Every structure is written in structure tokens, then in C-alpha cells.
Amino acid sequence: MRAIFGPKIESALQGLAATSPDLVRCLVEFPFGDVYSRPGLDLKTREMLTVAALTVLGYPQAELKDHIRGALNVGCTPDEISEIILQMAVYAGFPAALEAVKSATSVFGEKQ
């Protein structure tokens, strides 16, 4: 998780755990303990897929921003992320893609 989200992830999880420790346990153990740690895909590919999935869902913009940041942290370029969003417009529609572009633009602005 730290490779994706950086060192601030611990404090973010501690804050969430104060209200819902079971949710934090599930959030950490299943995706990052079981799925992300499997062989077969590197972290960059996994984050690219996560950005695609969150784009298609259309509504989890905070999580999408977190994973766009994570994708950048593990080697994705802004151009790759933009292409992922464009590709998802075909399947999720333009409203979902436009929301994702807004999130990406915000994150890209942070990195400058």
C-alpha cells in the first residue's frame, strides 16, 4: 500500500479505523493483502486497471483521485491515465469519463 499511496496512508487508515476498524481491516487485507500481492501483474498494471474500474463506476471520485495518485506513484504517466479514461468512455459513457477527467486534472495539477 505504501508504494501506491505513499507514507501518509498510515495516518489516513488510523483516522478511518477510529470510526470503523473492521472496515479498515477488510480494506487492507483483501485488496492489498490478497489481490495486489498476487503474482502475474505488477503494481503499475494493477493501478491502471483500478483507475479503469473506478472510472466506469462513475461516482467514487475521491477513491479515483487516490488511485490516480497511486498510478502516478508506481510509474504511470498522465498520458497513460488519460488514455485509460478515454478508453473507458466507450464502455461507461461520456458522463463517467468527464468526471474522471475532472479528477485526473485535479491530481495532475497537484503534481506540478
Per-residue pLDDT at 2: 83
Backbone phi, then psi, for 59, in 5-degree steps? -115, -25
pTM over 0.85: yes
Residue 82 pLDDT > 90, yes or no? yes
Q: What is the CATH number of domain 42-112?
A: 1.20.1290.10
Q: Which residue spans of the chain are classified as CATH 1.20.1290.10?
A: 42-112
Amino acid in the structure at residue 60: P
Report which of 67, 63, 57, 65 is spatially closest to residue 96, judged by C-alpha positions: 57
How many CA atoms within 13 Å lie on the side-chain side of 24? 13
Task: State the chain's mean pLDDT as an integer.
Answer: 92
Per-residue pLDDT at 64: 97
Q: For residues 72 and 81, is the Cβ–Cβ distance under 8 A?
A: yes
Burial class (CB in 10 A: 0-12, 13-18, 19+), 40: exposed
Per-residue pLDDT at 108: 96
